[in-house]
């Protein structure tokens, strides 16, 4: 009898887990979905790649030289980044890590010598839209497949090559591309499969987003009362409240007590 009850309990837990995943999938596809769903998925994935590639091509990794340099060299740096706005730092540490490789001889990170599209596959698994399709939350699965390069860090473990992130997408008009902004509350790193990474990232945002905003961010002390997919999420979540007459909260970050807009590449 005890054995029978044990197996009944296992079946109940399995059914509950599957029911929760079905609920996530149903919510994901019921929130203002547009007829351009496939187009948006491809565009968001390309936008992520483009942002990583921008850091790979234009970020300068010898910043320590700048700190102790002459005024003339500092001016050179400033002029350099005027040509490449936003390439000097990734405030959310969201794209730049995929643009660099560790140089074993120099003991520092350098820009990867391999184009991003050859070493990173980005797939948009699911998009949840606002009713007007101007806002969305998209869940991305990233697969790293770095080649072995002499003098650089070893090839990543293929068995743990999948990661997942979430982004907020925004456009002023439903026919425009979505610009993407980092969601930093949760991320998934080093999973063994696409399915495992995508399941975990969606579970985190659909079930564990509620709580107090992170210290040191524009959400510090703010109460999050909705998970992604909850009724009123796009209307009431602090992410989508106005920071000022130009920006929403999700477009801003805080650094050393001051707030700034993200300066990532636009997806046009």
Structure confidence by residue, pLDDT tens digits, 170-205: 999 988 999 999 999 999 999 999 999 999 999 999
Q: Is the dihedral of CA 47, 52, 58, 64 positive or negative?
A: positive
Report the pLDDT value the prediction gives residue 90, as an integer from 0 to 100: 96
Q: Which residue numbers in the chain have pLDDT < 70?
A: 1-35, 63-68, 147, 151, 153-159
Report the pLDDT value the prediction gives residue 7, as an integer from 0 to 100: 39
Is residue 216 one of the residues assigned to a domain?
Answer: yes
Whole-angstrom distance, CA of residue 79 vs CA of residue 81: 6
Q: Name the domain count of the chain.
A: 1
| The token pair that represents 231 in the structure block | 């009724």
Report the pLDDT value the prediction gives residue 9, as an integer from 0 to 100: 45
| The token pair that represents 86 in the structure block | 């936003």
Is residue 266 one of the residues assigned to a domain?
Answer: no
Helices marked H in the chain:
2-28, 37-58, 63-67, 71-83, 194-207, 233-236
Report the pLDDT value the prediction gives residue 5, as an integer from 0 to 100: 41
Is residue 109 one of the residues assigned to a domain?
Answer: yes
Report the pLDDT value the prediction gives residue 64, as an integer from 0 to 100: 64
| Residues in the chain, total | 268
Beta strands in the chain (DSSP E): 100-103, 108-111, 120-129, 135-144, 162-170, 179-191, 211-212, 223-224, 252-255, 258-261
Is residue 21 one of the residues assigned to a domain?
Answer: no
3-state secondary structure of 179: strand
Number of Cβ atoms within 10 Å of the Cβ of 126: 24
Whole-angstrom distance, CA of residue 173 vs CA of residue 206: 26
Is residue 268 one of the residues assigned to a domain?
Answer: no
Query: Which run of H or of E encompasses 200?
Result: helix 194-207
Report the pLDDT value the prediction gives residue 10, as an integer from 0 to 100: 40
Is residue 89 one of the residues assigned to a domain?
Answer: yes
Report the pLDDT value the prediction gives residue 18, as an integer from 0 to 100: 52
246 HSE (CA, 13 A, CB side): 4
Q: pLDDT tens, 125-155?
A: 999 999 999 999 999 999 988 767 776 766 5
pTM comes to: 0.85
Query: From the centroid of its chain, how far is CA 71?
Result: 36
Report the pLDDT value the prediction gives residue 1, as an integer from 0 to 100: 45
Report the pLDDT value the prediction gives residue 11, as an integer from 0 to 100: 43
Domain that holds residue 234: 31-261
Report the pLDDT value the prediction gives residue 104, as an integer from 0 to 100: 83
Is residue 193 one of the residues assigned to a domain?
Answer: yes
Is residue 14 one of the residues assigned to a domain?
Answer: no
């Amino acid at each position: 009898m005890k054995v029978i009850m044990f197996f009944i309990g296992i079946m109940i837990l399995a059914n509950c887990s599957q029911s929760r995943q079905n609920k996530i999938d149903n919510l994901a596809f019921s929130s203002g979905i547009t007829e351009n769903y496939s187009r948006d998925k491809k565009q968001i994935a390309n936008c992520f790649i483009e942002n990583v590639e921008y850091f790979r091509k234009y970020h300068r990794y010898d910043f320590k030289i700048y700190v102790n340099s002459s005024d003339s060299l500092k001016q050179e740096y400033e002029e350099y980044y005027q040509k490449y706005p936003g390439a000097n730092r990734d405030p959310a540490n969201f794209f730049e890590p995929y643009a660099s490789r560790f140089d074993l001889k120099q003991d520092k990170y350098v820009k990867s010598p391999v184009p991003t599209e050859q070493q990173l596959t980005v797939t948009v698994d699911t998009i949840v839209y606002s009713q007007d399709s101007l806002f969305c939350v998209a869940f991305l699965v990233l697969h790293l497949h770095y080649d072995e390069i002499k003098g650089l860090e070893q090839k990543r473990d293929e068995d743990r090559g999948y990661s997942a992130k979430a982004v907020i997408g925004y456009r002023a008009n439903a026919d425009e591309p979505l610009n993407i902004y980092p969601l930093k509350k949760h991320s998934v790193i080093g999973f063994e499969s696409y399915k495992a990474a995508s399941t975990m990232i969606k579970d985190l945002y659909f079930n564990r987003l509620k709580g107090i905003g992170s210290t040191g961010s524009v959400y510090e002390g703010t109460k999050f009362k909705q998970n992604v997919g909850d009724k009123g999420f796009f209307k009431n979540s602090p992410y989508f409240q106005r920071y000022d007459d130009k920006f929403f909260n999700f477009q801003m970050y805080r650094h050393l007590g001051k707030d700034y807009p993200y300066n990532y590449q636009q997806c046009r």
